[in-house]
Amino acid sequence: EDKVVQSPLSLVVHEGDTVTLNCSYEVTNFRSLLWYKQEKKAPTFLFMLTSSGIEKKSGRLSSILDKKELFSILNITATQTGDSAIYLCALLRGSGSARQLTFGSGTQLTVLP
Amino acid sequence: DTGVSQNPRHKITKRGQNVTFRCDPISEHNRLYWYRQTLGQGPEFLTYFQNEAQLEKSRLLSDRFSAERPKGSFSTLEIQRTEQGDSAMYLCASSSPEINSPLHFGNGTRLTVT
C-alpha cells in the first residue's frame, strides 16, 4: 500500500525564518510527487517533481526530490504571514489510467509576525 | 473565475437523508476526481472520471455513494442515507489530458450530518 509521511506535523516560526518541510514515501510504481498549499479551502498546486535531483523553484519556494532515498523537501525562505497554511505532499502512482493521488496528513505551518 | 466550481459550499443534513453535490471542472479538463478530507488529514481519493467514464473507485466508496458525469462535463456526487461519519469536506478536482498534468481543486463542499 502506498504511504506518504510528512514531518513535522506542525511548525511555528517568525517572519523571515527559513523552513524545510519533509515528505517521505513508499510506492510500488512511482510517477510523480506533488506539493500543494491549503489555506482555508482548496489545495492549490505548488510543484510537481518527477526526476531526482532537479530543483523546482517559484519565488521563495523550492522543492527537490530524491528517488533513491524516497523523500522530497519543500523549502520556504524569508517566510511571511501569508505562508501560513497546511502544506500537503501527494504521490501520483504510475500504470495505465491510474490517476489517484495519495496524500500525506500535511504540515501545518504558522508564521508569526 | 475559470477554476473548479463546487456547489453548495456548505450542507447540513440530518442522518438518513440523501445529499447531492455538484462539481463543474475547468472547461478544457477531461479528467475529474472526487476526494474526501476530514480534519487533520490529507484528502482521500474517492473516484475518478475520464470524460464520462468512471474509471476508478476507492474501497472507501460504499454503496451509499454514487458519482456520475453524464456528459463528460459537470459531475454529481450523491450520498444516500447519510451517516454522521460522512461529515467531511468533499473536494472535486480536474486535470487536463496531458501526461502528469497536476490536479486543480475546487473549494469543496463541507457536509455536516447531525
The answer, for B55 touching chain A at a CB cutoff of 8 Å, is: yes
Mean pLDDT of B34-58: 92
Q: How far is the C-alpha of A34 from the C-alpha of A44, rounded, in Å?
A: 11
- Count the alpha carbons within 13 Å of A55 in the hemisphere toward its beta carbon: 9
Using an 8 Å Cβ cutoff, are B11 and B112 in contact?
Answer: yes
User: Using 50, 70 and 90 to split pLDDT, how confident is the model at B56?
Assistant: confident
- Tell me if A42 and B108 make a contact (CB, 8 A cut-off): yes
- The predicted pLDDT at position A22 comes to 98
Which of A103, A22, A110 lies closest to A70 in space, CA to CA?
A22
Phi, psi of B84 (to 5 degrees): -60, -30
Q: Which three cell numbers stand for residue B40?
A: 487533520
Q: Which three cell numbers stand for residue A20?
A: 524545510
- The predicted pLDDT at position A2 comes to 85
The answer, for A28 touching chain B at a CB cutoff of 8 Å, is: no
pLDDT higher than threshold 60 for residue B111 = yes
